[in-house]
């Protein structure tokens, strides 16, 4: 597929090279021609010098036949505007914008523009490694109704079935990370030591589900 990227900073250049390694066609836009020096010498994608908000620049990058657009410049406003132009003017369905302002990121997420809040993402990653109890939200649906969260469960759950965890906790287990790999569990899957459980739960029930996971299993009659 063809992907247009706005911003050739560290994120944009890394994304461009990663996409190219996967066999995709890439065009990357930046106002600073020197920014393209971040790309490795054998980069084969299109380098477009200009402002990614301008239609002519986007068209030069191949936006009319693009399958995806990523706005990862250093400006929140520029990223959001460019993402909206790509979607609303050129009909690109798959757009994503990098946003530094967490509150604004949540607003645009609800409007249907996927966002990555850089500082929040980094902080969340650190929290999930530092904290060994409770649950840390990974994703919310645009309406804020359902959460996907990474949960730490009471050690007493080891050796119990996923079906009991779901029944007791009022939640769904989306997947389990085991030995660094994701596993889609069945009702008969037994939790093992070191498993990291990823749960789907209604937002309003998250506190109750977290408390239940922190407690040992209820003995079944």
Q: Read off the pLDDT band of 35 (50, 70, 90).
A: very high
Does residue 33 share a domain with residue 92? yes
Instruction: Tell which residue, 215, 214, 220, 207, has the closest CA to residue 164.
Output: 220
Residue 164 belongs to domain spanning: 131-214
> What is the DSSP annotation of 103-165?
HHHHHHHHTT--EEEHHHHHHHHHHHHH--SSEEEEEE-TTS-EEEEEE---GGGTTSBHHHH
- What is the number of structural domains in the chain? 2
Q: Is residue 52 part of a domain?
A: yes
Give 133-143 pLDDT, tens digit per residue: 556 667 777 77
Q: Is the pLDDT of residue 86 over 90?
A: yes
- Picking from 81, 73, 82, the residue whose alpha carbon sits closest to that of residue 31 is 73
Which of 99, 122, 145 represents a domain boundary (last residue)?
122
44 part of a folded domain: yes
pLDDT digits 0-9 by tens, 109-130: 666 677 776 655 555 555 555 5
Q: What angle do CA 135, 141, 147 make, to 5 degrees?
A: 15
Q: Is the pLDDT of residue 189 over 60?
A: yes
CA 100 to CA 25: how far, in whole Å?
27
Same domain, 141 and 58: no
Report the relative pairing of strands 196-202 and 181-183 from DSSP bridges: unpaired
pTM: 0.59
């Amino acid at each position: 597929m063809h992907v247009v990227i706005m911003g050739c900073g560290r994120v944009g250049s890394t994304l461009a090279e990663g996409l190219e390694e996967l066999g995709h066609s890439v065009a990357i836009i930046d106002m600073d021609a020197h920014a393209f020096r971040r790309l490795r010498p054998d980069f084969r994608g299109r380098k477009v010098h200009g402002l990614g908000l301008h239609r002519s620049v986007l068209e030069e990058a191949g936006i009319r036949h693009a399958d995806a657009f990523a706005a990862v410049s250093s400006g929140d406003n520029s990223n959001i505007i460019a993402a909206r132009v790509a979607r609303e003017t050129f009909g690109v369905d798959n757009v994503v914008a990098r946003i530094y302002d967490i509150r604004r990121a949540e607003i645009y997420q609800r409007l249907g523009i996927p966002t990555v809040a850089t500082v929040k993402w980094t902080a969340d990653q650190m929290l999930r490694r530092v904290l060994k109890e409770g649950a840390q939200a990974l994703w919310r649906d645009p309406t804020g109704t359902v959460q996907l969260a990474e949960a730490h469960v009471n050690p007493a759950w080891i050796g119990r079935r996923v079906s009991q965890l779901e029944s007791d906790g009022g939640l769904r287990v989306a997947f389990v990370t085991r030995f660094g790999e994701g596993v889609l569990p069945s009702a008969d899957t037994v939790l093992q030591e070191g498993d990291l459980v990823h749960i789907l739960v209604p937002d309003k029930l998250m506190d109750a589900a977290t408390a239940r996971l922190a407690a040992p299993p209820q003995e079944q009659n």
